[in-house]
Amino acid sequence: MKQLSVLGVSSLAILMGVTACQKPAEKPADTAAASSATTAASADMPQIRIATESSFVPFSYKDANGKLIGFEIDLADALCAEAKLKCEVISQDWDGLIPGLQAQKYHAIMAGMSDTAERRKVVAFSDPYFTNNLVIIGKKGVDKGADDLAGKSVGAQRSTTAAEYLAKNFPKATPKLYDTQDNAYLDLESGRIDLMISDSAPALYWLKTAKGQGFEVKGQPINIDDKIAIAFRQNDPLIGKFNTALAALKANGTYDKISQKYFADLPK
């Protein structure tokens, strides 16, 4: 993976954000996997729904009981507590995230979504809460670097900055795109693809697992200075509330504490 810096956390050298995009087809939100991210007890507090994608370890994923956990879940809890909002985090398929926001099924998206000019045509973004870079990973001992991928099969999650970078910068590679990050890992493990390009933090996290032990980062991290932020409907006054809350969490040390919980042990 590459080296990343979480915004406002100078002590962490390698971190990864998530990249997120959406496709036109929308799928229903998984309310059964909703997080208990209701952070204030006052009945008169506004109820806010936040959508995430639940297969992006360590940002947002499900534990053995189907409960949403991860960096973005903890951060959402803290943001809502600071902003004095009651929040519920729900799981939504990646391709349906922006369509669901536009259809007013929820108020915001926290799913490793990159703040891009293209997305700003249809949504608005908060201040960034993470900086993302990319890495290429492959089997250990196999001399397939990151400079020339001609003729190599390379996996990436569909509609992400990783997939976009692959298409633009490695036109002679054979891309294979996946609905989820987990499905790309499965094909990498089985040898159905040679390499995978991914956001740094999820890939580094996966390399620490038992399934990732036979794989490594190829070449150097790809610095794309990708900013991860919360997506809202355009002109939503909630943007200001969340920006104020995020600044407060960075100032009082809460943001650093949450970041350390998930990213401090990643390989440097």
Cβ-contact 76, 82 below 8 angstroms: no
pLDDT at 13 over 50: no
Q: What pLDDT does 1 receive?
A: 30
pLDDT at 33 over 70: no
Q: What is the mean pLDDT of the chain?
A: 85
| Separation between Cα atoms, residue 54 and residue 61, nearest integer Å | 4
Which of 39-43, 77-81, 82-86, 87-91 is least confident?
39-43
Which of 36-40, 85-89, 120-124 is least confident?
36-40
The domains located in the chain, with CATH, are 30-130+226-263 (3.40.190.10), 133-225 (3.40.190.10)
pLDDT at 50 over 90: yes
Cβ-contact 74, 63 below 8 angstroms: no
Evaluated on CA atoms 16, 140, 136, 69, the torsion sign reads negative
Q: What pLDDT does 122 receive?
A: 97
pLDDT at 25 over 70: no
Peptide bond into 221 cis (omega under 30): no
Cβ-contact 111, 51 below 8 angstroms: yes
Where is 52: in which H helix or E strand?
strand 47-52
The 10 Å Cβ neighbour count of residue 143 is 6
User: pLDDT by residue (tens digit) across 123-139?
Assistant: 999 999 999 899 999 99
Percent above pLDDT 70 for the chain: 81
| Separation between Cα atoms, residue 188 and residue 153, nearest integer Å | 10
User: Residue 91: pLDDT band by 50, 70, 90 thresholds?
Assistant: very high
Which of 18-22, 97-101, 167-171, 213-217 is least confident?
18-22
Percent above pLDDT 90 for the chain: 69
Radius of gyration of the chain (CA): 18
**Interval 31-48 mean pLDDT:** 56
Pairing of strands 47-52, 86-91: parallel
| Separation between Cα atoms, residue 97 and residue 52, nearest integer Å | 8
The 10 Å Cβ neighbour count of residue 154 is 25
Token pair for 22: 């959406």
Q: What pLDDT does 55 receive?
A: 86
pLDDT at 3 over 60: no
pLDDT at 41 over 60: no
Cβ-contact 3, 61 below 8 angstroms: no
* 3-state per-residue secondary structure call for 5-57: CCCCCCCCCCCCCCCCCCCCCCCCCEEEEEECCECCCCCCCCEEEEEECCEEC
User: pLDDT by residue (tens digit) across 185-196?
Assistant: 999 999 999 999
Question: Which residues on neighbouring strands pair with residue 50, listed in sequence order?
Answer: 89, 108
**Interval 34-39 mean pLDDT:** 48
Single out the residue of 108, 48, 52, 58 nearest to residue 80, CA to CA: 48
Q: What pLDDT does 185 receive?
A: 96
Token pair for 55: 């297969």
Cβ-contact 53, 94 below 8 angstroms: yes
- Higher-confidence residue of 142 and 79: namely 79
pLDDT at 47 over 80: yes
| Separation between Cα atoms, residue 261 and residue 70, nearest integer Å | 9
Cβ-contact 168, 209 below 8 angstroms: no
> Amino acid identity, residue 101?
L
Q: What pLDDT does 84 receive?
A: 95
